Amino acid sequence: MHVLIMSFGTRGDVQPYAALAGELARAGHDVTLAVPEGFAELVPHAGPGTITHQPAGSAMLRLVQEVMPELSGPRDALRTLGIMTSAMRELNAECWAAAQAARPDVVVYHPKCLAGPHIAEALGVPGVLSLPLPFFTPTRAHPMPFFGGASFGALGNRASYGLRRMSGAMYGGMINDFRRGIGLGRIRRLADPLRNPDGSPVHVLYPYSRHVVPVPDDYPPSAHVTGYWFLDRSDDGWDPPAQLVDFLAAGEPPVYIGFGSMGFGKGADERREIILAALRAHGLRGIVATGWGGIAPGESGTDGVLVLEGAPHEWLFPRVAAVIHHGGAGSTAAGIRAGRPTLVVPFLADQPFWGARVHALGVGPAPLPAKRLRTGFTDRLGDLVHNGSYASRASDLGAAVRAEKGLAAGVLALEQITGADRQPR
């Protein structure tokens, strides 16, 4: 089986798919991984199958990293819209080029890769949607995650998933232009992303744990909750800097605090001061990760706090006492797997949902919205580190998640979807 995997976004959006590529190769399958050049180092080298990296979305990634943080108002946003549209079209074209080179038997695509289902249709192979978030499949159990931890009742919850058609509504013109360019006809802007052109269901791989979000009774067979896809540290060759190793060895396990690119640099100085003051107030050691602008960089002014740009969560989180982050799916998964109590400071999108799940599972306090950081962070930090029940429950949940074999389940699902035979090792 030859699998084309396409993903775009931050490291957290790409890393699970690099892990899946490695597991497929270990099972004897060939993989083409279409991701931005900036994440080429994540591509694992594991056989007997092969893994080929095809750059896709590099211009979009540069736009997100370099241009978006500098926007200062609606006028800047409008000027950037044309650049963004051009970069999105380039991403679509690069994904098509990767497909032409790979000639895959199945296409696995993150929803940010708008071209994914249309490439699969053009090639006449299954298209498999994948997202580490229960975003697409309607259920009575909970609403679409963008509504946080709310519930609208069985009917309201299920109805909320109508929003899954929004990408078609927003980008329908671009999608149809792309379809025309690869020899396909037009589709409706509000076409259901979970239905193929022939009416059959689109298979969805959900790489998250059923211990974190239980599988609803009304999920169809086409929805596969596999367990998390974690990238082993041996796969990417990362070595921790001596400064980080020395800091960890110098005292009690610290608290990790990092918000990635949230805020795009706006308010980063204030967040830094709030965090440092809260750590001082509780006499805690801390590691503060500045990310892509979530927290302002610079020396902390104390030996008890290390400020760095970042470190792989899978390596770092098992070595800290507790984790505080923005609630991205990848950060949440890493904290839970490490068995560490967690505080989520959500900014947008699905982050309030993950914060609500962390609290409902008993592994951390109620989420603290970013806009309430100044008034609530010191108290919430104290609750996180001094409430022993969070640590106990986090340890139990981490053990359950580590026992899952999410990558193997993902490979098996793809083999079943395509009818492929596993090659002997």
- Given this model, what pLDDT does residue 291 score? 82
Whether the CB-CB separation of 211 and 397 falls below 8 Å is answered with: yes
Pairwise CA distance, residues 336 & 5, whole Å: 26
Structural domain for 100, as ranges = 2-228+404-418
Same domain, residue pair 224 and 245 = no
Residues 294 and 183 in one domain: no
Question: Quick one: 207 and 98 in the same domain?
Answer: yes
Q: At what angle do helices 268-282 and 373-386 cross, to 10 degrees?
A: 40
Are 256 and 310 in contact by the 8 Å Cβ rule? The answer is no
Out of 8-17, 95-104, 282-291, least confident range: 8-17
Q: Locate tokens 């690119």: which residue?
A: 261
Predicted TM-score (pTM) of this structure: 0.91
CATH of the domain at 297: 3.40.50.2000
Helices (H), 27-147: 58-62, 74-102, 116-123
The answer to whether position 196 is within a domain reads: yes
Contacts of 265 (CB under 8 A, 6+ apart): 69, 293, 296
Does 425 map to a domain? no
Same domain (yes/no): 219, 330? no
Residues 76 and 216 in one domain: yes
Are residues 297 and 180 part of one domain? no
**Which one is predicted more confidently, 97 or 425?**
97
Residue 77: pLDDT above 60? no
Q: Same domain, yes or no, for 217 and 245?
A: no
Q: What is the bridge-based pairing of β-strands 203-206 and 286-289?
A: unpaired
333 and 272 co-located in one domain: yes
Structure tokens at 9: 């976004």
pLDDT value of residue 164: 83
Work out the percent of the chain whose per-residue pLDDT is above 70.
92
Q: Please tell me the predicted confidence (pLDDT) of residue 327.
A: 94
Residues 262 and 169 in one domain: no
Asked if 355 contacts 327 with a C-beta cutoff of 8 angstroms, the reply is: yes
The pLDDT assigned to 9 comes to: 82
Give the chain's length. 425
Are 36 and 175 contained in the same domain?
yes
| 303 assigned to some structural domain | yes
Statement to judge: residues 60 and 209 lie in one domain = yes
Residue 423 within any structural domain of the chain: no
Domain count of the chain?
2
pLDDT of residue 422: 60
> Can you give the pLDDT at residue 45?
75
Q: What is the pLDDT of residue 79?
A: 58
Residue 65 and residue 130 share a domain: yes
Note whether residue 424 is domain-resident: no
Count other C-beta atoms under 10 Å from residue 41's C-beta: 11
DSSP lists the bridge partners of residue 54 as 34
Quote the pLDDT of residue 235: 44
Amino acid sitting at position 119: I
| Cβ neighbours, 10 Å, residue 322 | 24
Averaged pLDDT for residues 324-342: 96
